[in-house]
Amino acid sequence: MFYTYILQSNKNKELYIGYTADLKKRIKEHNQGLNFSTKRYMPWTIIYYEACVEESDARRREQYLKTTQGGRLIKRRIKDYLYKSKNLTN
């Protein structure tokens, strides 16, 4: 399986979208600072993922979620979580 995932920074609530074949290993790498683009916002919590049989489908979904339209879609999909996490920090 291949996974498209969304992480949220515990530091500043930023979201990060990626894809991988080994979800547990990838999250561990993000939290160990092995990814340049996420290193400064550690630690990360996984808040959403989707599984695909084909790698190309997971990669295409990642690219879509990184677009403006995809970002709006995913924020609607996890609306309750984002609302609750926002209120917990205020």
pLDDT at 19: 97
Number of domains in the chain: 1
Range of the domain at 39: 2-89
The pTM of the whole model exceeds 0.85:
yes
CATH label of the domain that carries residue 6: 3.40.1440
CA distance 17 to 41: 14
Tokens 């995932």 correspond to 5
pLDDT tens for the chain, 90 residues: list them: 999 999 999 999 899 999 999 999 999 999 999 989 899 999 999 999 999 999 999 999 999 999 999 999 999 999 999 888 776 655
Helix (H) or strand (E) holding 57: helix 55-65
pLDDT at 73: 95
End-to-end CA gap in the chain = 38
